[in-house]
């Protein structure tokens, strides 16, 4: 899994990662800013995601849409925001590399002179509409908000979702978001990766030409809240415009790359990912009491959570699904995985690594992965050590982590039920609050 690269740090603090791959005449340009929704404050949420939108609205020397010139040159491009980082990428023909670098440098260094109240208001409305589409008007869409709000206390930076609270977005002022940009979107808090048809020396000179003169910005320290804890089981319910009830069960787990993170990732696969997983076989295939099941170890920079979910088949109760979840988690903790399960999970992890690295750009490509490792562990060459976490997991280590973290008495269980049918929720559930 070794991806050859060179790393350089400019005087203003910008990390530059260069990977040559001459197989195709394209270049991936990938920028990560180490800022996400966890860098926000209660009452000031949604700013990181808002800037994902504003960064496409023009900068001082190109005060118009970001997409047309790059797409006209044959590029594909996009961006995304999560709790821990914001990224932007372009995949361009080799002869358009300079254009992409100029565009990225201009919005990194000169966005604020072009940021008007009209742009801010327009994109805030776009974000509010996106929230309505993806959360409020989507079946089961408010479940993520209810879950993170229950898992993490109000002052914890994972208590809110990346989209932000409606009241916070409506109350935001242009000066608020300008200050947020000045704090986080600058070379000293960014990492730039180029991968593809480049000559490293020539590419570095181009990067220097466009980024060397940008001011570094203030130092951004780590976010270090108190570790979240759950001392008991919490049962919540949401009424939604859905046909079938669904149950979510979540536990707090270690942060990304921490001890136990990889074991729990494998455990999630064994429990409910794919048709050979324990809960799929039991609930969907054999007993036919669920229409779907899923699981994920949500690894984040300062804390994680593992979540199981299942939708009840018509005529079946959430209590049946929840009982099966409890029993399968307990069985995995007590008996451990079979040799076949462990090997299959390891192979799946390895396959996912290889799949992500098939391309030089886009979400999860080589440039994106180099930036991820550089941002979160300070070492772009973390590929082999990351994969080794999965290869070195054993039956005993997995059993130990499941016993330690997936405790029946320290979890959040959320029932999402059709409106007016609170009787379908797990017994003892209280109404969840989402904002």
The pLDDT of 102-128, averaged and rounded, is: 97
Q: Classify each residue of 141-180 as buried b or exposed e, where b means 16 or more C-beta atoms within 10 Å of its C-beta.
A: bbbbbbbbbbbbeeebbbbbbbbbbbebbeebeeeebeeb
Domain 234-431 architecture: 2-Layer Sandwich (3.30)
3-state secondary structure of 287: coil
CA distances from 8 to 13, 22, 197, 202 (A): 10, 21, 18, 13
pLDDT for 435 equals: 78
Secondary structure element (H or E) that encloses residue 101, with its range: helix 97-110
- 170-198 pLDDT, tens digit per residue, is 999 999 999 999 999 999 999 999 999 99
- What is the spatial distance between Cα 105 and Cα 117, in angstroms, rounded to a whole number? 22
Any idea where the domains of the chain sit in the sequence? Answer: 6-211, 234-431
pLDDT at 356: 87
Tell me what the mean pLDDT of segment 206-235 comes to.
96
Q: Global pTM?
A: 0.96
Give CA–CA dist 14/351, Å, rounded: 32
Per-residue pLDDT, 262: 98
Q: Do domains 6-211 and 234-431 have the same CATH topology?
A: yes
CA distances from 14 to 123, 193, 196, 208 (A): 28, 10, 20, 10
Chain segment 323-361, per-residue pLDDT in tens? 999 999 999 999 999 999 999 999 999 999 999 889 999
What percent of the chain has a predicted confidence (pLDDT) above 70? 100
**Using a CB cutoff of 8 Å and minimum separation of 24, what contacts does 206-209 make?**
206/97, 206/98, 206/101, 207/10, 207/16, 207/101, 208/10, 209/101
From the options 3.40.50.300, 3.40.50.2300, 3.65.10.10, 3.30.830.10, give the CATH code of 6-211: 3.30.830.10
């Amino acid at each position: 899994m070794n991806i050859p690269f060179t790393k350089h740090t400019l005087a203003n603090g910008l990390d530059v990662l260069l990977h040559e791959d001459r197989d195709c005449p394209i270049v991936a340009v990938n920028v990560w800013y180490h800022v996400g929704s966890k860098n926000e404050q209660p009452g000031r949420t949604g700013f990181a995601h808002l800037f994902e939108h504003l960064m496409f609205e023009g900068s001082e020397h190109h005060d118009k849409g970001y997409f047309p010139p790059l797409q006209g040159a044959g590029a594909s491009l996009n961006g995304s925001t999560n709790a821990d980082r914001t990224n932007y990428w372009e995949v361009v023909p080799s002869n358009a590399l300079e254009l992409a670098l100029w565009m990225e440098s201009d919005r990194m260094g000169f966005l604020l002179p072009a940021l008007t109240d009209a742009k801010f208001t327009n994109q805030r409305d776009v974000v509010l509409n996106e929230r309505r589409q993806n959360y409020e008007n989507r079946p089961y869409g408010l479940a993520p908000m209810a879950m993170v709000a229950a898992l993490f206390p109000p002052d914890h930076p994972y208590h809110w979702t990346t989209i932000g609270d409606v009241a916070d977005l409506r109350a935001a002022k242009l000066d608020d978001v300008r200050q947020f940009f000045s704090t986080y979107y600058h070379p000293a808090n960014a990492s730039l990766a180029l991968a593809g048809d480049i000559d490293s020396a020539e590419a570095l000179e181009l990067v220097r030409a466009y980024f060397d003169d940008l001011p570094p910005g203030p130092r951004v320290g780590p976010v270090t809240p108190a570790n979240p804890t759950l001392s008991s089981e919490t049962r919540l319910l949401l009424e939604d415009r859905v046909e079938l009830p669904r149950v979510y069960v979540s536990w707090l787990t270690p942060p990304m790359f921490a001890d136990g993170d990889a074991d729990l990732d494998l455990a999630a696969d064994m429990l409910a990912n794919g048709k050979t997983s324990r809960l799929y076989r039991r609930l969907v295939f054999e007993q036919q009491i669920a229409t779907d099941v899923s699981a994920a170890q949500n690894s984040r920079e300062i804390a994680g959570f593992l979540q199981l979910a299942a939708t009840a088949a018509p005529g079946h109760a959430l209590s049946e699904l929840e009982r099966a979840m409890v029993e399968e988690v307990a069985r995995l903790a007590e008996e451990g995985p079979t040799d076949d399960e462990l090997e299959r999970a390891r192979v799946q992890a390895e396959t996912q690594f290889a799949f992500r690295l098939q391309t030089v750009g886009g979400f999860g490509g080589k440039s994106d992965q180099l930036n991820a490792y550089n941002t979160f562990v300070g070492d772009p060459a973390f590929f082999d050590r990351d994969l080794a976490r999965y290869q070195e997991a054993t039956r005993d280590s997995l059993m130990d982590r499941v016993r330690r973290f997936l405790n029946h008495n320290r979890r959040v269980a959320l029932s999402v039920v059709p409106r007016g049918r609170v009787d379908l929720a797990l017994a003892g559930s209280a109404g969840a609050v989402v904002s």
